[in-house]
Structure 1
Amino acid sequence: MCNHQDETLRSTNRDLQEIEKKMDRRRFLTKTSLGIGSLALGSLMATEKIFAGNPPVPRLESRGSQGISDLPHFMPKAKRIIYLFQAGGPSQLDLFDYKPKLTDMHGQELPDSVRDGQRLTGMSADQSSFPMTSSAFKFHQYGESRAWVSELMPHTAEIVDELCFIKSMQTGQINHDPAITFFQTGHQLPGRPSMGAWLSYGLGSDNQNLPSFIVLVSKNAVQDQPLYARLWGNGFLPSQHQGIQFRSGKDPVLYLGNPENYDGNDRREMLDYLKSLNEVQFDTYGDAEINARIAQYEMAFRMQTSVPEVTDMSAEPDWVYEMYGEESRDPGTYAANCLLARKLIEKDVKFVQLYHQGWDQHGNLPNGIRNQCQKTDQATAALVKDLRQRGLLEDTLVVWGGEFGRTVYSQGTLSPENYGRDHHPRCFTKWMCGAGVRPGMTYGETDDFGYNVVKDPVHVHDLQATILHLFGIDHEKLTYKHLGRRFRLTDVEGNVVKRILT
């Protein structure tokens, strides 16, 4: 068998060499002239300056998940992150950004000087008036930090002294697709690597048997806005850095299991032979994506054992399910995904991304947001409590929030039972906790209308720069050269928000 494989490899190599010999004259002259020119340039300049940029393509024996050699740039506070993305745009005015003066101004027209010519969505651009509406829900202050939280989130109210609320978030995107893409990739247009892919590329993995970037999507959410796999894609980075979606059901990862009548020994033999063929191709062309392909095959083989183990919840005691809520017993729900996220970071998965859709409430907001909070509030708070009691919160970063906020003016009726709010990118609220984030803090401030930031604005790129900083990364130095330009997650902007850090 071994002799037969060796002969096949030699034959394949001869075929590839034959293809090289058959290049036409123009291609030969172009290729050799560029090579001679490069050698001449190399005699005049330092080699490391010529080839500075991306790390050299590693040989197969050095391939792995160690990340870039000079990272981290400084001592990190965070080893892992759980990003609880609330897709659709939660209303900050009904959850965290308490505006008591709106009660007196309810029904009054929003002054033009406040709106100041802001670009509106197509859903409210044709409105003849912009009547302000106060929240239908009561607010109270909680904890030693005296943070304001709506009655909709009683469980979050219990952990406010662990949280850092950022009430001055801003984005330039007013519609869902570009706004979510902007948060996840640093650019409003598709094609850039996601934040998880950047961290995987820069820092590698701490567990060789699981992907460093795993995505969970709630099955019990309102499917009002679509989610795309490119939100957790690798963009122009090597493909092994893309996020891997875990699904509920029998097969958490698609096509991971062996075909019928095919056992692990068969798969191992097939992968070994496939690796040999890819090595021949790599030796001929030096394409880095060949190495990425081999790495993914090997990871899939190891995941056949590791994924069933980490997704098995049978050992979790009843008190854990009670803490996360009854829906945590149903795989694929938001509560179950929060519990799974905790298990994944216990296995040193670096980036766990949860998506929960359904926060896009242009009408009937009170009923819609109440339903969303019932599905998410208890499990979110339980996750933070669970991480803290296990000693994981000190080096695990947790982020909660959506792609933008909601307007102070109402769409449609002013009725407290079914008013709605449009998209609002000028100011909204996120919170962070753990891993070097200052607990029990509220950062930033909005005006009495809840429409504009009046203190300490935080742009999306600032948040991304801060997250990278917590991982020991200078966001300006984590770059990748593509199409002649050095790209980074924060593009050409971003400042670390140092005052929210310990």
Structure 2
Amino acid sequence: MNIAPLSRRMLLQSSASGFGWLALQSLLADRSFGSPLQAVGPHITPKAKRVVWFFLDGGLSHLDSFDHKPRLTQDHGKPLQVAGKKEDITGRTTSAILGSPFPFQRYGECGKMVSDLFPQIGSCVDDLTFLHAMHGPSPDHESAIGMLHGGSLMQGFPSVGSWTHYGLGSENQNLPGFVVMGSRKRMCRTSGFLPPIHQGSPFFQDPARPLDDLVMAEKLKSLQHNKMQAVGQLDRVFLQSSAQNQIIEAAIANHEKAYFMQDAVPEATDLTKETAATLALYGVGAEHKDTDKFGSQCLVARRLLERGVRFIEIVSNGWDSHNDIQNAHAKLAISIDRPIAGLLKDLKSRGLLEDTLVVFASEFGRTPNTEGADNKPGRDHHPWGYTIWMAGAGLRPGMSHGMLDEFGYFPVEGAVDIHDLHATVLHLLGIDHARLTYRYSGRDFRLTDVHGNLVKEILA
């Protein structure tokens, strides 16, 4: 057999992949399953060990949820006059101010004003940290989602979950280190130019099962074991003759992971072991029609966190309310308010919130002026100023940072951009955002590019 000579780089890559394969062979031989994957390790002492990232796809209205602006109600129907006002995105937006159709109530010892969309989350405000002067560069969904997740307006950059997994590794080799629920969008889970092992695993694409292709095709475990050994031998031969070592090594690692996950995933997602009180806390069960699906995802998230999953993103879709925002936002809020509050309370009661970071974000907010028909008005895209909140490890709870003008249009105090958010999230995980780099195509890339400042005011 003629084998092409290996370059020094190919030899090193093949050797590294070979060590990975030898580890797998050992695992399959004695079926002891070895020790957890080793993390790269943090740069500084971490406050958080894990992340739950809620993403409201489409654009939650900050003005109808967590940023109370009485001036909108006072001037409802009057022309919006803001210096530097941006052009309309859709061309359907009027100049008329739209007062929020949702009353706001005061919650907690911090006295935070929260709308009637989120009364359950409102009951948790003393554990939340609000960023009221977030701003982004794009009013377009795809580029804004790319920016929120990957720090770039261009598509294909690694998501924040992939960067986290790349920087810290996994604490459980039997489960994915990065999980995404509720969305098929590539921006939410892509590893981009990072090694494929860091991409997010999509859970619950089929509501009937947590993950595709986990059912063993063979009738006996011994038959599957023999097949894995045979496939492994073929993979090893291919590794020795192929220059695409990173891709092949990732495929081998995925085979290994899938083998373990056949037992680990069903156990981690089995909610029958939870108490009736816990199910009710999350709004899970046939009697909770509006919250059962999202609540189940939140409860599974807690179980995955307990088992060492590093980063979990849970997506709620449909928030792009250009028309009839009152009914559209209300229906969606009902489905997520109780489950998210349930997760926060459950994590806190179990002592997990002390080292878990929770992020609640949308790609942008919505305009203070009206879009759509007068009888069922909506709001347009608004990246120039909006709200996100965080909770958990290393944060000052019950705090509101930053402020938009009285119309909720532009930041007037404490402006925070997406790179600042990413830098702060990584910092809480023990990662210096300026040192977390990956060389690709001749240059060093990082999640925050050449930007990003810590939002020090919110750090405990």
Does 1:360 pair with 2:320? yes
Q: CA deviation at 1:362?
A: 0.6
* SS of equivalent to 2:380: strand
Q: How many percent of aligned residue pairs carry the same amino acid? A: 40
Partner of 2:71: 101
2:28 corresponds to which residue?
Answer: none
Q: Paired residues, what number?
A: 440
Q: Distance in 1 between matches of 2:324 and 2:108?
A: 31
Match of 2:351 among 383, 391, 396: 391
Counterpart Cα distance in 2 of 1:451 and 1:459: 15
**2:451 is the alignment partner of 1:493:** yes
1:4-15 pair list within 5 angstroms: 14=1
2:81 pairs, out of 102, 111, 114, with: 111
Query: Does structure 2 retain, via aligned residues, the 8 Å contact 1:133–1:414?
Result: no
- The residue type paired with residue 200 of structure 1 is H
Q: CA deviation at 1:249?
A: 3.9
Match among 167, 170, 181 for residue 205 of structure 1: 170
User: Post-superposition shift, 1:289?
Assistant: 2.5
- 1:455–1:332: structure 2 CA closer, same or farther, 3 Å change rule? same
User: How many Å separate the matches in 1 of 2:159 and 2:364?
Assistant: 18
Q: Is the 8 A contact 2:393 2:428 kept in 1?
A: yes
Q: 2:338 aligns with which of 378, 393, 411?
A: 378
- Looking at structure 2, the residues matched to 476 and 62 of structure 1 have their Cα atoms a distance apart, in angstroms, of 33
1:322 and 1:432 map into 2 onto residues whose CA distance is 24
What amino acid does structure 2 have at the position aligned with 1:135? S
1:270 aligns with 2:227: yes
Instruction: Provide, for residues 189-241 of structure 1, a one-character-per-residue CA deviation record: whole Å limited to 9, x for no partner.
Output: 221111111111111110110000011107xxxxxxxx523420111111111
CA contact (8 A) 1:57 1:288 kept: no
- The structure-2 alpha-carbon separation of the partners of 1:234 and 1:306, relative to structure 1 and needing over 3 Å to count, comes to same
Helix, strand or coil: the match of 1:499? Answer: helix
1:314-337 Cα offsets, whole Å, 9 max, x none, are: 111111121112458779711111
2:370 matches 1:410: yes
RMSD of Structure 2 on Structure 1 (CA): 2.3
1:289 is the counterpart of 2:247: yes
Structure 1 pair 102–345 and aligned structure 2 pair: CA distance change class (3 A): same
Corresponding residue of 2:32 = none
What's 2:141 paired with?
A: 176
- For structure 1, which runs of at least 5 residues remain unmatched after alignment? 1-13, 22-30, 39-50, 219-226
Is contact 1:107–1:414 with CA below 8 Å preserved after alignment? no
Task: Tell me by how many angstroms 1:252 deviates.
Answer: 2.0
- Alignment correspondent of 1:235: 192
Largest Rg, 1 or 2: 1
Q: 1:258 to 1:469 in 2, by over 3 A?
A: same
**Equivalent position amino acid for 2:188 in 1:** L
Q: Which residue of 2 aligns with 1:450?
A: 408
Name the CA distance, whole Å, in 2 between partners of 1:305 and 1:280: 29
Residues in 1 aligned to 2:285 and 2:295: alpha-carbon distance in whole angstroms: 6
> Normalising by structure 1, what TM-score?
0.83
Partner deviation per Cα, 1:243-292 (whole Å, 9 max, x = no partner): 11111544321122222x44322222222232233333334446232221
| 8 A contact 1:83–1:352 mirrored in 2 | yes
Per the TM alignment, residue 390 of structure 1 is displaced from its structure 2 partner at its CA by 0.6
> C-alpha separation between the residues in 1 aligned to 2:192 and 2:301?
24
Question: 1:156 and 1:134, CA in 2 relative to 1: closer, same or farther beyond 3 A?
Answer: same
- Alpha-carbon distance in 1 for matches of 2:151, 2:122: 31
Matched, 1:425 2:383: yes
Could you tell me which residue of structure 2 aligns to residue 85 of structure 1?
55
State TM-score, norm by structure 2. 0.90
Farther-moved stretch of structure 1 (320-329 vs 393-402):
320-329
Please list the CA deviations of residues 103-132 of structure 1 after superposition, one character each: whole Å capped at 9, or x if unmatched. Answer: 2211111125251xx2431x13x65x4111
Secondary structure at 1:113 match in 2: coil
Trace 1:124-203 onto structure 2 (pairs within 5 A).
Answer: 124=91, 127=93, 129-203=94-168
Letter in 1 for 2:322: H
User: 2:48 touches 2:355 (CA, 8 Å); kept in 1?
Assistant: yes
| Distance (Å, rounded) in 2 between the aligned partners of 1:104 and 1:175 | 30
- Residue 192 of structure 1 aligns with an amino acid whose one-letter code is F
